Amino acid sequence: MTMREVAVTAELPGRAVEWLEERCLVRLNAGVQITDENTLIDFIGSADAVLTLLANPVTDRVLAACPDLRVVGNCAVGFDNIDLVAARRRGVWVTNTPDVLTEATADLTWGLILAVTRRLGEAERFLRDGRFHGWALDMLLGSGIQGRQLGVVGFGRIGRAVARRAAGFGMSVAASDVDEHANPDPPARFMALDELLASSHVVTLHTPLNEGTRHLLDEERLRLMPRGAFLVNTARGPLVDEAALVRVLEDGHLGGAGLDVFEMEPAVHPGLLEREDVVLLPHVGSATEETRAAMAELAATNILAVLAGEEPPTPVVRPTDH
């Protein structure tokens, strides 16, 4: 029997490559990240499976040019880099890596909430610049969060894990997409998005990116937020109109923003780079050794299952879905 071929677009932590190599012929890209369709098409070639990262654009054109592909195993919970409609139409499985990164991403979200409300980035720059000449009562004052409302947009796995931690910081939780009549776990008050924005001290985004959520926070919605409120985004950059966010920060409407993701990633809007009231991270929400190994291993397990003719643990698109 011929060995199945798996194209792996980047080096992987953990035992993922080892597991794939036990049963397949693995082609590994150890070079620069593949961010364009043509390079991806050349790299996949006649492989039966591809293990992708979120920078790899798995478009209809890529799927059309790689007709032997049976499965795209994305090493991420998000899958906005993949044309799901095209995959379904072309009978290709798509899988993702939910659950294993939930807690790490929720932790990082809280890191950003605390960093932006307590001005941690600015305070660290202040010290490193040699400007700390002794404790002062009015030095680098931030905003307290105790007793305030955290608005969670996207009450899925990560949104709920973020909300669970809110009790520890004395914050109440509002969510825009829980069932108003259900008893959400953890507890959250249902609010329509605009009401949530207008009443939260910190708004945190955990909703997937799709055509319905692109620029979900446009200028009008950003201006609904109370003066001095904070925005945190560890989901996907294009959920926020970044240019509008810069304007809303520039005129002092918002207290600050904590961003792990960007609209034109890896580019960051120059208006953000200049500001002291934003905390900017290079998309590290799930970046712990344990989590990244678990993500890569789950992506490999999904691929191996499909190639063995089995149901993968975490499918997004089944070829039989219509």
Active site residues: 236, 265, 283
Instruction: Output 122 or 263, the one with its CB closest to ligand DGY.
Output: 263
User: How far apart, in whole angstroms, are the C-alpha atoms of residue 106 and residue 73?
Assistant: 23
Instruction: Output 74 or 117, the one with its CB closest to ligand DGY.
Output: 74
Q: In this structure, are residues 51 and 73 in contact, taking their beta carbons and an 8 Å threshold?
A: yes
Helix (H, G, I), strand (E, B) or coil at 18: helix
Q: How far is the CB of 67 from ligand DGY (least distance, A)?
A: 27
* DSSP strands (E only) in the chain: 4-8, 24-28, 49-52, 71-74, 93-95, 149-153, 172-175, 189-190, 202-205, 230-233, 256-259, 278-280, 315-317
Instruction: Output 44 or 101, the one with its CB closest to ligand DGY.
Output: 101
Instruction: Output 14 or 285, the one with its CB closest to ligand DGY.
Output: 285
Q: How far is the CB of 104 from ligand DGY (least distance, A)?
A: 8
Q: In this structure, are residues 43 and 84 in contact, taking their beta carbons and an 8 Å threshold?
A: no
Instruction: Output 98 or 121, the one with its CB closest to ligand DGY.
Output: 98
Sign for the CA dihedral angle at 47, 50, 56, 60 comes to positive
Q: What is the DSSP string of 230-299?
A: EEEE-S-GGGB-HHHHHHHHHTT-SSEEEES--TBTTB--HHHHT-SSEEE--S-TT-SHHHHHHHHHHH
User: How far apart, in whole angstroms, are the C-alpha atoms of residue 208 and residue 78?
Assistant: 7
Q: How far is the CB of 103 from ligand DGY (least distance, A)?
A: 12
**By the criterion CB under 6 A, which residues form the site for ligand DGY?**
54, 76-78, 101, 285-286
Q: How far is the CB of 197 from ligand DGY (least distance, A)?
A: 23
Q: How far is the CB of 310 from ligand DGY (least distance, A)?
A: 23
Q: Phi/psi of residue 217, each to 5°?
A: -100, 90
Query: Is the preceding peptide bond at 186 cis, omega within 30 degrees of 0?
Result: yes
Instruction: Output 109 or 149, the one with its CB closest to ligand DGY.
Output: 109
Q: How far is the CB of 155 from ligand DGY (least distance, A)?
A: 17
User: How far apart, in whole angstroms, are the C-alpha atoms of residue 117 and residue 55?
Assistant: 30
Angle between helices 102-117 and 157-166 (to 10 degrees): 50
Identity (one letter) of the amino acid at 19? W
